[in-house]
A and B are shown apart, each in its own frame.
Chain A
Amino acid sequence: MMNEPALTIKNLMVRFGEVAVLRGVSASLPSGAVTAFVGPNGAGKTTLFHAISGDLLPDKGIVSLRGKPITGMAPWKVARNGLGKMFQDVRVFDSLTVIDNVLLALHEHEGLSVWASLTGVPMWRRHAPKLLQEAESWLEIVGVERPYDRPAGLLSFGNKKLLALARLMAGKFDVFLLDEPTAGVSPVLVERIAELIRKMANRGITIALIEHNFSFVTNVAEHVYLMREGTIQDWGATEEVLAKDENREILIGL
């Protein structure tokens, strides 16, 4: 079953100097489903996500979010259009407290200006307890280790990933791009992350993720795209794509 796509990518090309890293990638993310991008190291998966989120300007191709073209848009504008992202290297705000990391995502974007911050003092003061509560409940849902008032830089790697996830969930995004959400994370946390991803998808959020952990992919993703050397090698239902011998060879027998 393919719903109307939340995000479509057409013929995306990216080159770094002489090297073509994406050579015409087309894909679409069905709304409210989980789609995985798999492929050997260096296949261009992270580059694809960067090109979607505006962190990188593609040389060619079109990205559209619910029919609206977002190609070449600044990353913060793409985010305001509802696309949230978790980086491969996590990127929590180390010097902010754990709870401030989530609070930041909860604030309305307009409320972050100097003007709103000065004129809306009673407002952000009054909202503060409510927002704090909400931030705390996201942290609890995700299961980030307490205490929440210490700098996020002190968290373990696994907990930083959870925090990045909590930050995404607190933001008002309806499409998530997750770059290797389970890499370097203990098996217990992998199971919890899988659960969270399914929960998010059930709430109607469209999720794309990059993964090397195939049992995890089989566990959470309905669809999978297999990438190799900057192209889409195969795509379809997860079980089918991962079952083919030639695909297994690309993935495992490098």
Chain B
Amino acid sequence: MENYVLHLLTMIGIYAILAYSMNLVTGFGGLLVFCLAGFYGVGAYTHTLLQVGGAESRLADELLFSAACPFPVALLGAALAGGGAAIAIGVVALRFRGDFFVFATLGFQMMLYTVLYNWNELGRGAFGIYGIPRPVVFGWEINQPWEYVVLVGVVDTMVLPFLFLLYRSPFGLSLKALRDNERAAESLGISAFRQHLSALMVAGAFSGIAGGLYASYVTYIDPTSFGLNESIFIVSLLLLGGSGNIRGPIIGTVVMILLPEALRFVGLPDSFAANLREIIYGFALILLMYWRPRGLAGDFSLR
């Protein structure tokens, strides 16, 4: 039971990074993106390939490369890869406006997934990668559930303040202005393309970090964790909690992660519960958009 609570805390810590990253782009920038799970996946795979390796690793032969990097280096690599992927995708997707932009991100999400799924030489495709090394941070070997909670907590306290700072910074102000009225913001000398691309890059880099944490926590990854479903889940964290501020995303994250667990305790048979959960999710989101388009605690309506 105790381990179970620690597990939920770890997951909340990882998803909080994703929700706050999404918040920068969507809540502040006003851009709905459906490819955050792609960046998350790029981070997870990069981190894994950078970590795997060393003398006793048999897995290394089956991967595109393996670098046996220390954990912090691998996490940094995950951030760079996530940010890089976001720039590459953003440069193309930001050529489209409005709904077309949203569809472009959807397309890129599907492409990233397909690449991870089919490129066997990269990371064993659909078979996934198992036995990802447990993190060692400056000599501290992380094994126990509580140790993961500490690790994720430390990483969160290191990275989230950057996002909170950006929310309040002149950069954040320019994003909000673009969200309100893009042409008026441009008439003040603000480039929508540059600001939006920067926001995507930051979100991609931070999602990459979340991916690295996830990979080294579950020690097994396959492409299904980073598909369109996952992107929709991240969007719904924000839809539910509300965006454009600091409290919304964390509320959404906590509720969305605890809700299915709460349903589990109602005592439904497992096979039935899983489906019911999906239905309740969908239903809750629809009701929410109808009654509270700003989410539970948002400053800004995504509508």
Contact = CB atoms under 8 A, between A and B. Distances in A.
Contact of B189 (A55, A76, A95, A103): A76
A74 B191 contact: yes
Given A55-B183, A74-B186, A95-B180, A100 B170 contact: no
B275 interface: no
Contacts of A171: 188-189
Nearest to B180: A93
A236 interface: no
A74 B199 CA distance: 20
A76 B198 contact: no
Interface string B156-182: 000000100110011111101101110
Interface string B185-201: 11111111011001101
Given A53-B187, A91-B181, A93-B185, A112 B174 contact: yes
Contact of B190 (A76, A103, A167): A76
A239 B281 CA distance: 69
Contacts of B166: 114, 117-118
A128 to B, nearest CB: 10
A146 interface: no
B183 A112 contact: no
Contacts, number: 103
B189 A117 contact: no
Contacts of A113: 171, 194, 198
* Listed residue (A91, A101, A112, A118) with the most chain B CB atoms within 10 angstroms of its CB: A112
| Chain A interface SS verdict (over half) | helix
Given A87-B184, A167-B188, A107 B170 contact: yes
Contacts of A85: 187
Nearest to B190: A76
Contact of B169 (A79, A92, A109, A124): A124
A76 B181 contact: no
Contacts of A92: 181, 184
B230 interface: no
Given A91-B184, A112-B195, A118 B169 contact: yes
Contacts of B171: 112-114, 116-117
A95 B191 contact: no
B106 to A, nearest CB: 25
A117 B172 contact: yes
B300 interface: yes
B202 interface: yes
Contacts of A112: 170-171, 173-174, 190, 195
A104 B177 contact: yes
A79 B187 contact: yes
Interface in A102-129: 103-105, 107, 109, 111-114, 116-118, 121, 124
Contacts of B188: 76, 79, 84, 104-105, 167, 171
B92 to A, nearest CB: 18
Contact of A87 (B169, B187, B195): B187
Given A111-B170, A114-B166, A114-B171, A93 B176 contact: yes
A94 B185 CA distance: 12
A95 B177 CA distance: 8
A121 B170 CA distance: 10
21 contacts: A55-B187, A74-B186, A75-B186, A76-B188, A76-B189, A76-B192, A79-B186, A93-B176, A95-B176, A96-B173, A96-B176, A96-B180, A100-B176, A104-B188, A107-B170, A112-B190, A114-B171, A117-B172, A118-B166, A118-B169, A171-B188
Interface of B: 162, 165-166, 169-174, 176-177, 179-181, 183-192, 194-195, 198-199, 201-202, 244, 299-300
Given A76-B187, A79-B186, A104-B190, 16 more contacts: A55-B187, A76-B191, A76-B192, A79-B188, A84-B188, A85-B187, A92-B181, A95-B300, A107-B174, A109-B190, A112-B170, A117-B169, A117-B172, A124-B169, A171-B188, A171-B189
